[in-house]
Structure 1
Amino acid sequence: MEVAGATPIRVQTLAQSKTPTVPPQYIQPPEHRPLPTAAAANIPLIDLSLSSDAVRRDIAGACCDWGAFHVVNHGVPKQILDEMSAVGSSFFNDLDVSEKLKYSCDSGSAASEGYGSRMLVSNSDDTVLDWRDYFDHHTFPLSRRNPCRWPDYPPNYRKVVEEYSRHMKMLAQKLLGLISESLGLQPSCIEDAVGEFYQNITVSYYPPCPQPELTLGLQSHSDMGAITLLIQDDVGGLEVLKDGEWVIAQPSSDAIVVLLADQTEVITNGEYKSAIHRAITNARRARLSVAAFHDPAKTRIICPAPELVGKSGAHYRGVLYGDFVKSWYSKGPEGKRNLDALRL
């Protein structure tokens, strides 16, 4: 556990110590532990180069049934995807821990920029920790961006993050347009409701775990914002909840994982669902993923789109996004409990 004034303990350091058992604070309650096998199905794969009608139809099905899908032919150069993964891996694997800790973020503050391990604010003794380290970057709007807070090794690190963030923002805008159109809305409907994107890019590193059957790399949750775009290496470990079963989102070459988040479920009045997902660990190989989160400003009030309320009334009350974030980080996600609190 991290305590004030102490050098924070990172999961990678624990893994490198070759401890045969995980510390108690990483052991999940029995009902949250991963089962030996997950369902063999994979999340849908959507080819954005198909006809507009086909893409909208496929997106509608995936958003209704899954809240998650892969996209290919998405327009993001493979080189930038590979470079982003490479610089993230280099930070975790090539730098001494003393160098990494220069970027340590404040464990007492939610969503602090920098190098950390704790997702939630609570320091309660019964808080179960994830088997994960991460580096979080504030990338949009540009007024939040300060590359001096990011690593300068390897030398192209900062340039790659800037380029990657630009491509992810453009793809998020394109996808929200397609999602809006698939509901018969104007292409700008969801993006207009969200407002200016607050984009964070988080590189997550999941070290090998001596007892993967007892731990999670990232606990079950749905993302709090509008839309998340994620790439993962070939190790795999992302799981999506579908009809009460955990389905492994198998890594797919050149594909980007799309996860609908809670505010999009609210804006679509529940016609489309945010994806409950988690990350599992394994005993043999480290895993790396990069998530680009696209969220509203904390001053934004999010509510169902008026065009969708007329059908059956509003299913969610409006919420100040900053209040939603505060609840998510202080209470914990527990699946979708913060979103469920908005249901009418």
Structure 2
Amino acid sequence: MEVEGSPVMRVQSIAQAGKSEVPPQYIQPPSDRPNNDAGGKSGGGVDVPVIDLGEDSVREAVGRACRDWGAFQVTNHGVPIRLLDDMRKVGLSFFNECPMKDKLMYACSPDSAAAEGYGSKMLVDSDENHGVLDWRDYFDHHTLPLSRRNPSNWPHYPPNYREVVSQFSDEMNVLAQKLLGIISESLGLPSSSLKDAVGEFYQNITVSYYPPCPQPDLTLGLQSHSDFGALTLLIQDQVPGLEVLKDSHWYPVQPLPEAIVVLVSDQTEIITNGNYRSAVHRAVTNSTGARLSVATFHDPSKTRNISPAAEIVCQSSPARYREVNYGDYMSRWYTKGPEGKRNVDSLLIDP
């Protein structure tokens, strides 16, 4: 546990110092900087799909989005809009109103992968990752299974923080299971196929805070990557920043206050044998205002082995991915880092 005076510097503290330049460890290499693909950033008038889950053609729409983008936004999703607003409010209150000494009571170890708590650095130091840091602070919560959920590890401020996160966790769990069912059906499989392959959800909720950045053209709030689990659900505030890669171009995901962003993750790509690809995405920064997002990750257990679904693999469609133990896959991600790549490609049998 960190104490005041810890050498680990929070990005919010750097931003509040009012410097005109970012420290060198936050400067991305030229090839990874957000202005490297200026033509793609506008998206050419094409937007990430927005799907109404109440529509009759929802399976077809979800299938197209998973195949073409690996990402989409959903409305009419059944999660109370009030709860989405409350989750954003308590996240902002923690970062903007809680004194630093109180935040550091919940600091996670910078040397432990996927540690619960308040942090800035996600990856474990190793010889394989090169140490460029994201312009972001975060709070990570272990929320499911219930045996992992210990609200005393979460912020005590604002007073309703722990209650809101618990309710949000439960609602996201219901929606993620519903979406996996729809994704299965969109492939012509029984609705339970993907849920059975993933098994019991191990859910984490990460509240990310991106302070204003004096040099947004040199930094990223979150480097390019695909999520390594099964399915990610994300809500944004009104400040743009999330971008999805499609056909070598970056497309902004427009903030819609009542929508939830769905990101297909690596294990779902494996289970669907590459019919649906995980979404490569990143977060860009800006110089004028802070941004907040809340990502809810739904992953298999570390002991789960993941492979292409038997219903998909046949003589006319051989397995394209090797079986992988999810715990091993996750450990490699945290040690090596995404480096802007899709780690799932390392499992291709015939790249």
Which TM bucket (shorter chain)?
over 0.9
1:58-83 deviation line (CA, Å, top 9, x unaligned): 01100000000000000000000000
Task: Measure, in 2, the Cα distance between the counterparts of 1:195 and 1:334.
Answer: 29
Distance 1:185 1:308, change over 3 A: same
Amino acid at match of 2:58: V
Residue number in structure 2 paired with 1:101: 104
Residue number in structure 2 paired with 1:171: 175
Distance 1:131 1:75, change over 3 A: same
* Amino-acid identity (%): 64
Residue number in structure 2 paired with 1:48: 53
Aligned counterpart for 1:297 among listed residues 290, 297, 301: 301
Alignment of 1:53-202 (within 5 A): 54-122=57-125, 126-202=130-206
Aligned-CA RMSD value: 1.3
Counterpart contact for 2:226–2:342, Cα < 8 Å: no
What's the CA shift for 1:252? Answer: 1.4
Task: Measure, in 2, the Cα distance between the counterparts of 1:306 and 1:339.
Answer: 19
Residue number in structure 2 paired with 1:330: 335
1:103-140 deviation line (CA, Å, top 9, x unaligned): 00000011100000011112669410000000000000
What's the CA shift for 1:6? Answer: 3.5
Aligned counterpart for 1:284 among listed residues 285, 288, 291: 288
1:286-312 deviation line (CA, Å, top 9, x unaligned): 000000000000000000000111131
Task: Measure, in 2, the Cα distance between the counterparts of 1:329 and 1:38.
Answer: 31
**TM-score with structure 1 length normalisation?**
0.96
Amino acid at match of 1:58: A
Task: Measure, in 2, the Cα distance between the counterparts of 1:327 and 1:84.
Answer: 31
What's the CA shift for 1:7? Answer: 3.5
**TM-score with structure 2 length normalisation?**
0.94
Residue number in structure 1 paired with 2:28: 28
Consecutive unaligned residues of structure 1, counting only runs of 5 or more, are none
What's the CA shift for 1:42? Answer: 1.6
What's the CA shift for 1:336? Answer: 3.8
Task: Measure, in 1, the Cα distance between the counterparts of 2:202 and 2:341.
Answer: 21
Alignment of 1:207-246 (within 5 A): 207-246=211-250
The answer to whether 1:342 aligns with 2:340 is no
SS in 2 for 1:264: helix
Task: Measure, in 1, the Cα distance between the counterparts of 2:16 and 2:249.
Answer: 33
Counterpart contact for 2:126–2:335, Cα < 8 Å: no
Amino acid at match of 1:285: G
Consecutive unaligned residues of structure 2, counting only runs of 5 or more, are none
What's the CA shift for 1:211? Answer: 0.1
Task: Measure, in 2, the Cα distance between the counterparts of 1:251 and 1:160.
Answer: 21
1:131-185 deviation line (CA, Å, top 9, x unaligned): 0000000000011111000011111100000000000000000000000000010
Task: Measure, in 2, the Cα distance between the counterparts of 1:237 and 1:42.
Answer: 14
List structure 1 runs of 4+ shifted beyond 6 angstroms.
none
Distance 1:153 1:6, change over 3 A: closer
